[in-house]
Chain A
Amino acid sequence: MRTRAVALFAILAVLLSACVGLRKDESGADGPRKGCAVVDVASSPEKFELLTNLAADFNKTQSEVLEDKCAFVKIAKKSSGTAAQQLADGWQETEANGPRPTIWSPSASSWGAVVNQRLSERNQGAIVPAGARSFMLTPLIFAMPKPMATALGWPRTPIGFADLLALARDPKGWAGKGHPEWGAFKLGKTNPNFSTSALSATVAQYYAATGKQRDLTLEDLNRPEVDAFNRDVESAVVHYGDITLTFLNNWFRNDVRGTALTYVSAVAVEEKSLIDYNRGNPDGITDPGEQPKPPRVPLVAIYPKEGTLFSDNPVFILDAPWVTARQKTGARAFEAFVQRPENQRKVLSFGFRPGNPAVAIGAPIDPANGVDPAQPQTTLRVPSPEVLVRIIDKWGQLRKAARVLLVIDVSGSMGDDAGNGETKLELAKRAAIDALGQFKPEDEVGLRIFSTNLSSKEPKDYIDLVPVGPIGSQREALASKISDLIPTEGTPLYTVARTSYDDMKGKYDPTRINAVLLLTDGKNEDPRNSDLEGTLRSLRAGSEGLSSTPVRLFTIAYGGGADLGILRRLAEATNAAAYDASDPETIAKVFTAVVSNF
């Protein structure tokens, strides 16, 4: 009898724990106290570190809160554009997407309008509330080397977007301002599908094109002269990309080499990024042992005289079906916590303006860092959601066309298991085929594969499967050739990097972004060419100074065997960037990021 009673209790204990057990996210593995509501936050990358610190402080305060009222905040990094897309698509909780957020804090409120608009186009209700409070602020500015700004009359003469764009459209370039040694006016601008500064800059560009400061309409966007204006502006762009950091890092390296004035003339960035750059820390993160050294040529902030837009970093507590009342309460507590003056002072130290006006703006937002706390004097109005979405769509049509050679490693190691039962090559092929959809019909794309002894005749180490040509007519052929790829022998990395670069340079098209996208999973394994320094010298020689034929070599380090350090050096030698896909399952995301440069 006693045994039966014990067994009964044991069964009931299991039932009980199943009933009251914590939800999956509240497993305790990441530290939440039992019973606390987990508040997941999707944060744009530039404030991830700051919010993570604040969340840790907040979570400590929750030990004194009653179990049924406490909250545990978890911060995840997610670019604003990617999060907007995931929210509009219903945010599937996959490993790559991360948990569905209770709080979404993109860089700017305009992303909230984009999500609600995309949902409304699918007859779904809004999930991003209006009137969210700003956590911190930073205005969009044009970062420009001080000598260039001075040549335009800075700081006495107010400089406008229209002035910069006129310079971009002037075939004489800087020669028209008495500085032929600086070459053409080159604009740096990211991709508005991903980047807030690019979205704001593109909106400002449309205002400049229409001569308006508010009330942009769909009709304005469709005017032929507005299209022509925007095409001209985009033609001055060196390349795009998902983050402004690519430009700032390259600028900083050029500054060290004394070529800062020829890499790019102005870049649309947030004020915060310029402060980081002038402090000698272009990525805004101080690594252990890093001694930031200010650049030789400092940048100054141009606050466009027509007005600009703020990245207002809202804290959106989502009205999404997956957010519970408990989570909302926890989210509101965290929102109030980050607004406390002591926490808002931390915002300042990161180079942002405080969202809580009780905290005064002060250093480092000062002229010593190239910025002016009294600016901007006016702002441009964020357009209506439908106009905003149309601006993004139109940018896809009007952006500078690209001419890109995809160079894919088919060495033997690409046949290794990616960890999910597929080979690395299988995953890469799928990601490459998906990425083809990001190109517009006017882009020219070719496909080259490489591996040692691929062919019996020269060139032995690579084969052009599809020559560079308009993707509109050869998208199918490219997809089919990519799909047929099989792994073969070793990795002739230096040879293929150099020859691909030289080939693209030889057929340089000045109306396009000319680039090589090289994916490899290995290190150089070519006994006939192991000369890294010679390869770097050759790439650099073609990219420095007033190079009239700049070709960018973007590299993807794929899988654990790739040498990200060397790939970074190869990319940076051409003022491009390397991307890390050491986890093969991230390859689709990485491909999307790389193709955002075009």
Chain B
Amino acid sequence: MKSVLALVAAIAMVLGAIAVRNRMDDKPTLGGEPTRMKLTCATELAAACEAMAADDLDVIVEPASDTAERLTGLPDGARAGLDGWLVPAPWPQIVAEARQRAGRTTVLAAPSAAIGRTPVVVVAWRERAAVLERSCKTPVGWRCIGDAARAQTWKTLGGNELWGPFKPFHADATREASGLVTAAAAAVSFLGRTDFSSADLDEDAFTDWYSELERSLPPTRSTGAAAVQETLATGPSVYDVVGAFESEAQPLVAASARRGELQVIYPSPMVTADAVLAGAARGGRIDDLARLVTGEEGRRSLADSGWRVEGRPTVGPPLPPGNGLPSPGALEALRLKTKEIR
């Protein structure tokens, strides 16, 4: 009897040891399908996602285009590999339209209403913004920044020759949500309307102007938040103006020892990124995840990471009712145009 008990105890210990070893090796535990919630987040929402407290939540952060391309390429009937995607609109629509064009069925359910919003801002060094404004004869906005990029040097713009070339920044429009929304803000600023189509983007005047802007940006680019961080740490030598989401820029500028030398500009017309949750069309724990992300926990996490959430105090000018963006199709055309230029 004792031997049998010893053997049972021994087997239990070995199984326990294997389980511990597996955990240490970052391998999934033995047996059954994982039942944890899987939330994929766009880079710009990383802080909010990582702050959401839930023991059974796995968060993956990646550029919006990576998720979009994976979802677009999924064969019909395949699982999305996520329960929900928290991303600025209209990325879920971009995926839906791309799948429709390819004759594939939907992989995502209709997205939620905006859970949080953030406008596109420009962080600029005051001294240089003043020169820019004089040169453009308008408040600093994307049209002005694009024109300055065409002028190429501060000397041409009437500034100090030692400031060198004019150096704007926005995140990669072909990869990051903030890059595409900012590029859209630039296009809207140049074209003067939001209802443009791919044909408008192919007009010579826009192509020339937009090409100059995009080519003045560094070829290898970080996120808007990283660029704001970099410009605050290095001073005006690396970037003169940085386009980013307010949620990325404002907290960093406010905490910076050099905030007095900087200006956070809200270019007109105002364009916003609206964070939405798009659940997988089938399977998984979509409802639980929606309750978490669109509920109090999700709203608190978004607000704490700089997103504007209804009913919570905000700083900065009021937001317009709409996001000020063109259609998902026009945005996708702009993304392709950017790829082509580079």
Chain A interface residues (CB < 8 Å from chain B): 1-2, 4-5, 8-9, 12, 15-16, 19-20, 23, 35, 68, 113, 130-131, 133-134, 137, 158, 213-215, 305-307, 310, 312, 324-326, 353-361, 374-379, 381-382, 384-385
How distant is the Cα of A133 from the Cα of B219 in the complex, in angstroms? 18
For B17, the closest partner residue in chain A by CB is: A19
Residue B233 contacts which of A16, A19, A137 (CB distance < 8 angstroms)?
A137
| Contact residues of A: prevailing secondary structure | loop
Residues of B with C-beta under 8 A to A158: 162
A384 touching B220, Cβ below 8 Å: yes
A16 touching B236, Cβ below 8 Å: no
- Give the top 8 A-B pairs by smallest Cβ distance, nearest first: A378-B164, A131-B222, A357-B232, A19-B17, A360-B257, A357-B256, A325-B26, A12-B10
B6 touching A9, Cβ below 8 Å: yes
Question: If the complex has contacts A5-B6, A20-B21, are A130 and B220 also in contact, measured as CB distance less than 8 A?
Answer: yes
How distant is the Cα of A33 from the Cα of B24 in the complex, in angstroms? 14
B162 touching A378, Cβ below 8 Å: yes
How distant is the Cα of A325 from the Cα of B237 in the complex, in angstroms? 36
B18 touching A19, Cβ below 8 Å: yes
12 A-B contacts, Cβ less than 8 Å apart? A1-B3, A8-B7, A15-B14, A20-B24, A214-B165, A215-B215, A310-B234, A355-B233, A357-B255, A361-B257, A377-B164, A378-B164
Known: A357-B233, A376-B235, A379-B238. 7 other contacts (CB 8 A): A1-B2, A16-B13, A130-B222, A131-B226, A378-B237, A379-B234, A384-B220
Residues of B with C-beta under 8 A to A385: 220
B23 touching A68, Cβ below 8 Å: yes
B163 located at the interface, meaning its Cβ lies under 8 Å from any Cβ of chain A in the complex: yes
B33 located at the interface, meaning its Cβ lies under 8 Å from any Cβ of chain A in the complex: no
Q: Please, what's the 1-or-0 string for B52-70, where 1 marks a CB less than 8 Å from any CB in chain A?
A: 0000000000000000000
B222 touching A306, Cβ below 8 Å: no
How distant is the Cα of A360 from the Cα of B25 in the complex, in angstroms? 42
B20 located at the interface, meaning its Cβ lies under 8 Å from any Cβ of chain A in the complex: yes
For A35, the closest partner residue in chain B by CB is: B24
**Size of the chain B interface, CB-CB below 8 angstroms:** 43
Most buried by A among B3, B215, B237, B255: B237
Q: In the assembled complex, how far is the CB of residue B160 from the closest CB belonging to chain A, in whole angstroms?
A: 7
Residues of B with C-beta under 8 A to A130: 220-222
A354 touching B17, Cβ below 8 Å: no
B229 located at the interface, meaning its Cβ lies under 8 Å from any Cβ of chain A in the complex: yes
Chain B interface residues (CB < 8 Å from chain A): 2-3, 6-7, 10, 13-14, 17-18, 20-21, 23-26, 160, 162-165, 167, 215, 218-223, 226, 229-230, 232-238, 252, 255-258
Q: In the assembled complex, how far is the CB of residue A16 from the closest CB belonging to chain B, in whole angstroms?
A: 5
A113 touching B220, Cβ below 8 Å: yes
B17 touching A16, Cβ below 8 Å: yes
Residues of A with C-beta under 8 A to B238: 310, 379
B21 touching A357, Cβ below 8 Å: no
How distant is the Cα of A423 from the Cα of B75 in the complex, in angstroms? 64
For B10, the closest partner residue in chain A by CB is: A12
For A344, the closest partner residue in chain B by CB is: B233
Residues of A with C-beta under 8 A to B17: 15-16, 19-20
Residues of A with C-beta under 8 A to B162: 158, 305, 377-378
Most buried by A among B13, B234, B256: B234
For A131, the closest partner residue in chain B by CB is: B222
For B175, the closest partner residue in chain A by CB is: A130
How distant is the Cα of A375 from the Cα of B160 in the complex, in angstroms? 14
B14 touching A357, Cβ below 8 Å: no
How distant is the Cα of A15 from the Cα of B21 in the complex, in angstroms? 12
B233 touching A353, Cβ below 8 Å: yes
Residues of A with C-beta under 8 A to B220: 113, 130, 382, 384-385
Residues of A with C-beta under 8 A to B21: 19-20
Question: If the complex has contacts A19-B17, A133-B229, A384-B219, are A378 and B165 also in contact, measured as CB distance less than 8 A?
Answer: yes
How distant is the Cα of A34 from the Cα of B226 in the complex, in angstroms? 35
Residues of B with C-beta under 8 A to A375: 237
B237 touching A376, Cβ below 8 Å: yes
How distant is the Cα of A354 from the Cα of B187 in the complex, in angstroms? 36
For B215, the closest partner residue in chain A by CB is: A215
How distant is the Cα of A326 from the Cα of B22 in the complex, in angstroms? 12
Question: If the complex has contacts A306-B164, A324-B25, A378-B163, are A357 and B222 also in contact, measured as CB distance less than 8 A?
Answer: no
Q: In the assembled complex, how far is the CB of residue A17 from the closest CB belonging to chain B, in whole angstroms?
A: 9
Q: In the assembled complex, how far is the CB of residue B244 from the closest CB belonging to chain A, in whole angstroms?
A: 13
B255 touching A358, Cβ below 8 Å: yes
Q: In the assembled complex, how far is the CB of residue A27 from the closest CB belonging to chain B, in whole angstroms?
A: 14
A326 touching B2, Cβ below 8 Å: no
Residue A213 contacts which of B10, B160, B165, B218 (CB distance < 8 angstroms)?
B165
For A329, the closest partner residue in chain B by CB is: B26
B164 touching A12, Cβ below 8 Å: no
Question: If the complex has contacts A4-B3, A310-B238, A357-B233, are A12 and B13 also in contact, measured as CB distance less than 8 A?
Answer: yes
A354 touching B233, Cβ below 8 Å: yes
A326 touching B24, Cβ below 8 Å: yes
A360 touching B7, Cβ below 8 Å: no
A374 touching B18, Cβ below 8 Å: no
Residue A377 contacts which of B6, B221, B237, B258 (CB distance < 8 angstroms)?
B237
Q: In the assembled complex, how far is the CB of residue A353 from the closest CB belonging to chain B, in whole angstroms?
A: 7
Residues of A with C-beta under 8 A to B255: 357-358
Q: In the assembled complex, how far is the CB of residue A381 from the closest CB belonging to chain B, in whole angstroms?
A: 6
Residues of A with C-beta under 8 A to B223: 131
B23 touching A357, Cβ below 8 Å: no
Q: In the assembled complex, how far is the CB of residue A152 from the closest CB belonging to chain B, in whole angstroms?
A: 16
For A373, the closest partner residue in chain B by CB is: B235
How distant is the Cα of A305 from the Cα of B161 in the complex, in angstroms? 9
Residues of A with C-beta under 8 A to B237: 307, 310, 375-379
Residues of B with C-beta under 8 A to A382: 218, 220
How distant is the Cα of A9 from the Cα of B2 in the complex, in angstroms? 12
A20 touching B164, Cβ below 8 Å: no
Q: In the assembled complex, how far is the CB of residue B42 from the closest CB belonging to chain A, in whole angstroms?
A: 14
Residues of A with C-beta under 8 A to B222: 130-131
Residues of A with C-beta under 8 A to B165: 213-214, 378
How distant is the Cα of A130 from the Cα of B222 in the complex, in angstroms? 6
How distant is the Cα of A354 from the Cα of B233 in the complex, in angstroms? 7
How distant is the Cα of A131 from the Cα of B226 in the complex, in angstroms? 7
How distant is the Cα of A377 from the Cα of B237 in the complex, in angstroms? 5
Residues of A with C-beta under 8 A to B14: 12, 15-16, 19
How distant is the Cα of A305 from the Cα of B230 in the complex, in angstroms? 21
